[in-house]
Amino acid sequence: MVEKHKHCVVCGMPISPDKTPPVCSKKCEFILSRRARRERIVWMLLPLPFVVLLILFLIFGGAAP
Ligand SMILES: [Zn+2]
């Protein structure tokens, strides 16, 4: 049986399916936006070690056999 509702992505409270963003209250909307911002920063910083490694490889790559 499928009920015609979604759940708040923050606290899991049942909400109407056409709600955008899928949260139950302003409080959860704030929590969601704060979480999304943090995730965006993490995704931005995630390739950084690889970029640094690539640069190091380009600089010191000639020393490798
Ligand atoms: Zn909520």
37 Cα to the center of ligand 1, angstroms: 18
Q: Which residues surround ligand 1, an ion (CB under 5 A)?
A: 8, 10-11, 13, 24, 28
Q: What is the pTM of this model?
A: 0.61
Supply the range of the domain harboring residue 50. Answer: 6-63
Percent with pLDDT over 70 in the chain: 89
pLDDT beyond 80 at 49? yes
Contacts of 10 (CB under 8 A, 6+ apart): 23, 24, 28, 31, 32, 35
In a domain, 47, yes or no: yes
On the 0-12 / 13-18 / 19+ scale of CB atoms within 10 A, 63 is exposed
Structural domains in the chain (count) = 1
pLDDT of res. 63: 61
Instruction: For residue 26, report the distance from its CA to the centre of ligand 1, in Å.
Output: 8
Residue 1 lies in a domain: no
Sign of CA dihedral 24, 30, 35, 40: positive
